[in-house]
Chain A
Amino acid sequence: MSQTTTFEQPKTGTWDGGNEPFKASYGKLMMWFFLLSDAFTFGAFLTTYGLARHRHHAYEGTPEAFTFSTEWWPIPEKVFNAFPFFHGVDWPLAFVALMTMILILSSVTMVLAVEAGHRMDKNDVQKWLLWTILFGSMFLGCQAWEWSHFIAGTDEGMKLADGSVIYGANLIVNQYGPPLFADLFFFITGFHGTHVFSGVVLLILIFFNTVNGVYHRRGHYEMVEKVGLYWHFVDLVWVFVFTFFYLV
């Protein structure tokens, strides 16, 4: 141990890099600014959605008489009304409500992991990280189901003027309405889902580091905080996607 090379001591003066702007570490600050840039990306998606929606006619009849047509933008609660194992039952937005609850719950377990990290409580950090990984993976599973249902379509499909029937949706045809509706569904929820997936990968990495005692030896659990910031942002994006895609 005595043979360790001594490096130059870090400078600690205010103008030598010893000062932390905003009393936040470099890593946390950069995570905040990365998230800000990510918000711009999602902002672009939502703008595109708003413009595309406005360019199409809104459905003007009563909600009870609603049918799928490429003539008008669909009502979300008529599109997203299926629930796993309840085939053909009309439960508007029930599944997406479940997904929202799962993601909010994962945010809570994440913040509990960060809190445990502040107390240097390795066991609690491990426990809450595992819960967060579980809820994150559950959300991804739900989204996979939602996508496969959206792609496969309903039993009735959409009848075209020439008598043929479309089932489900892809990037070119869409039984629920104009093709752009399906395109934006795939891009927006897909981009968010990719973020959730990266988040789960990061969570698994820091879980292994925690178990191996990397952060305990380092003396702080800041990495858990940084991944936590990312994870909450993903939850935040879902809150907006939920409002603009499923509610409005």
Chain B
Amino acid sequence: MAAHSHHNEDHGHVGDIPKAQTKAIWKTFVILCVITAIEFAFAFMMEAGTLRNAIFIGLTILKAFYIVGEFMHLKHETKGLIWAILVPTILLCWLLVALLVEGTFYGDSVYNYFK
């Protein structure tokens, strides 16, 4: 009986559901679409090269900022959590750059040594 009356109570609450607040979500969606469109514009209208790659990487990080900040809600978490995620990620980027630069140098040295 107790469970049943609780069930009825739930139905009474249906009318109280607050209205959806989706403006910020759709705004983020539009921003992500625009950035992707800009990436395509650069892909077809600019010569390939270091500058174009730098623009691509910059725009990608901007997209990542919106996805992690807004969609994953990290922007609105506590400062401690933000840093706990951000610091290892920054170190990871450093690791990637270091591995690429050092690995490229090492690869070239070994290749030239046996040439």
Give me the interface of A with B, judged by CB distance under 8 Å: 1, 21-24, 29, 32, 36, 39-40, 43, 46-47, 50-51, 54-55, 63, 75, 77, 92-93, 97, 100-101, 104-105, 107-108, 110-112, 115-116, 119-121, 124, 216, 228-229, 232-233, 235-236, 239-240, 242-243, 247-248
Contact = CB atoms under 8 A, between A and B. Distances in A.
Nearest to B79: A22
B67 A93 contact: no
A23 B21 contact: no
Interface in B42-73: 43-44, 48, 53, 56-57, 59-60, 63-64, 67-68, 70-72
B20 A51 contact: no
Contacts of A108: 25-26, 28-29, 71
B56 A247 contact: yes
Given A77-B43, A119-B17, A121-B17, A243 B2 contact: no
A97 B60 contact: no
Contacts, number: 118
Given A43-B95, A121-B17, A236-B64, A55 B56 contact: no
Nearest to B95: A43
A43 B43 contact: no
14 contacts: A22-B78, A23-B78, A43-B92, A46-B96, A75-B48, A97-B40, A101-B36, A104-B32, A105-B29, A108-B29, A112-B25, A239-B67, A247-B56, A248-B56
B81 A22 contact: yes
Contacts of A39: 89, 92
B29 A24 contact: no
A32 B57 contact: no
Among B63, B72, B78, the most chain A Cβ lie within 10 Å of the Cβ of B72
Interface of B: 2, 10, 13, 17-18, 20-22, 25-26, 28-29, 32-33, 36, 39-40, 43-44, 48, 53, 56-57, 59-60, 63-64, 67-68, 70-72, 77-78, 80-81, 84-85, 88-89, 92, 95-96, 99-100, 103-104, 107, 111
Contacts of A24: 77-78, 81
B68 A236 contact: yes
A232 B72 contact: yes
Given A120-B17, A229-B72, A248-B56, A107 B67 contact: yes
B60 A240 contact: yes
Contacts of B107: 51, 54-55
A196 B19 CA distance: 31
A40 B94 CA distance: 12
Contact of B56 (A92, A100, A236, A243): A243
A248 B28 CA distance: 25
B40 A93 contact: yes
A32 B67 contact: no
Nearest to B82: A22
Nearest to B59: A243
Contacts of B68: 232, 236
A51 B81 contact: no
Contact of A51 (B10, B25, B39, B103): B103
B43 A40 contact: no
A63 B45 CA distance: 12
B67 A236 contact: yes
